[in-house]
A and B are shown apart, each in its own frame.
Chain A
C-alpha cells in the first residue's frame, strides 16, 4: 500500500488519481501507524512552507517523516520541506536534504516571472527515478522558491539559473515538479518510484 501524507497542503487528490491511472492503490492519511507500515510514502504539497511546517510539527508528522525507512517521494512543497531551510516565511524545515530553499531572483538583467508556471525540462539524471526517460524530458512545474544545486541533486532544471529539479538521499527522493500533472513523463517517474525495491 502507498500512503499519501495528508496535511494542510493541496494536490493530494491529483496524486491519488495519478496513481490510480497507473494501477496503484493508495490511501491518503495522517495516521502515523498507517504511514509507518506503508510500502512507500508520498509527501505531496502545494502551499506555504511556514504554515505547512507548523501543521506537521503540531501533529508530530515532522519527526515521523524523518524516521521513515521505506522509499519516500516528496513533491513540490514536499521537496522544499525536506530541505534544511526555506526562505518562504524564514522556515526551518525537515533537514533531510542539505540544500536550502530560496526565492527566484526578482531583479537583475533578466526579469523572471514568478511563480514559474508551465513546462520545463529536466537533465543530468542521476537516479532510478528517471529510468527510461530521454534526456531533457518535459515536466510541469509551478513554484516561486527552489532548492539550489548540491551533492544530492539528481536532476537539474534551468529557470535562467540551474536548480535542483530532484533530490535523493538514502531512501528519500523528491521532485520540484508535479509528476502527477506531467503527462506520460510524470507517469514514468511515478512508476519508477513505485518499482523501487
Chain B
C-alpha cells in the first residue's frame, strides 16, 4: 500500500454525500466549579449551588452528554491543588472526554491537568494577554487539547468584541480577529460565549457563531443563551456550530440531554444516540 495525497483526492471525490456516517454534533454540559462544587452564574453573577461535580458528571455521561467542560471560576494558586484532585476524581469516574478551564496561565498548569486525566484545557484571558501561550501549549501537547475560550459581546456599532476576566473587562479587539490569530497560533477549538445571550434563554448568538464556524478551520462550540431544544437545532443549522454548550438548563433539568438528542435526531441532525 502506498496511499498518498493523490489517492486521497480520488477517495474524497467518490465519497461526497455519504450521509449515514460522519462526525456528530456534540452536546456539552458545562459545570462551573467553585470550592469543589458546581455553580452556575446567571449573566456571570448571582451564583447558585447545583451539586457535586463528579456526581453530576456521571449523571450527564449516562444521559448521553458527548463531553463535559469544567470551569474553575475561582481558580487561584491555593485552589489549584483542589482542582487537580477534582480532575483526578473526574477522570477516574467518567468514560467520556472532558475539558478543564479557569485561570490557566502556564504550560506547567496544563501539564499537570492533562497528566491527571483531563483531555483538553481551555484558556481565555491569559492567552489574550500572552498569545505565545497558545503556541507553547500547542507545541508541547498538541492543538487538539488547546481550546480557546472567548467571551464576546456585540456592541452598539454592531461588532462583536472580546471581553476578558469572566466578562468584566472590555477590549478593543474584534472577536473574528482574535479567533483567527489564536487558530493560527495553534488553538484547536473555539469555545465562544456570547455575553448578550448568556443567561437570557433566548437562544444562541447565531451570527457570530456562523461567522467563526464558516471561516475557521477548527470546530466551534457555541455557548450562551440555550433555553429550548429548538435553540440547539438553530445553532447547529443556522449557526453551523460543531458543538453546543449549556449549563443551567441541564443542571435544573429544564431540558434532559436524552430528550434533547432524540429531538435533534428526529429533526435530522446527526447526534450520538
Interface-located stretch among A55-63, A66-74, A179-187 = A179-187
Counting contact residues on chain A (CB < 8 A from B), the size range is 35 or more
CB–CB A119/B95 < 8 A: no
Is A47 in contact with B142, judged by CB distance below 8 angstroms?
yes
Interface residues of A in 93-109 (CB under 8 A from B): 98-100, 102, 105-106, 108-109
Contact of A158 with B144 at beta-carbon distance under 8 Å, contacts A105-B9, A105-B12 already known? no
> Interface stretch among B22-30, B42-50, B73-81?
B22-30
Residues of B within 8 A of A160 (CB): 12, 15-16, 18, 22
A62 to chain B, nearest CB (A): 21
A residues less than 8 Å from B20 (CB atoms)? 136
Contact A118 B23 (CB under 8 A): yes
Hey, which chain B residues are within 8 Å of A182, CB to CB? Answer: 95-96
> A140 near B4 (CB under 8 angstroms)?
no
Partner of B95, one of A105, A114, A187: A187
CB <8 Å contact, B12 and A161: yes
Query: Is the Cβ of B91 less than 8 Å from the Cβ of A14?
Result: yes
Contact A118 to B243, CB < 8 A, known contacts A109-B16, A161-B15 = yes
Query: Which residue on chain A has the smallest CB distance to residue B66?
Result: A119
Neighbouring A residues of B217 by C-beta, 8 Å:
106, 111, 113-114
Q: Which residues of B contact A84 (CB under 8 A)?
A: 1
Which residues of A sit under 8 angstroms from B18, Cβ to Cβ? 158, 160
CB of B95, distance to nearest CB on chain A (Å)? 5
- Which A residues lie within 8 Å of B188 (CB)? 115, 117
**When A and B form their complex, which 7 residue pairs have the shortest distance between CB atoms, in order from nearest?**
A148-B3, A158-B21, A161-B11, A138-B272, A119-B272, A150-B1, A181-B97
For the A-B complex with A110-B16, A113-B242, A117-B219 known, give 8 more contacts whose Cβ atoms are closer than 8 Å.
A13-B115, A17-B117, A108-B12, A109-B16, A120-B21, A120-B23, A123-B21, A160-B22
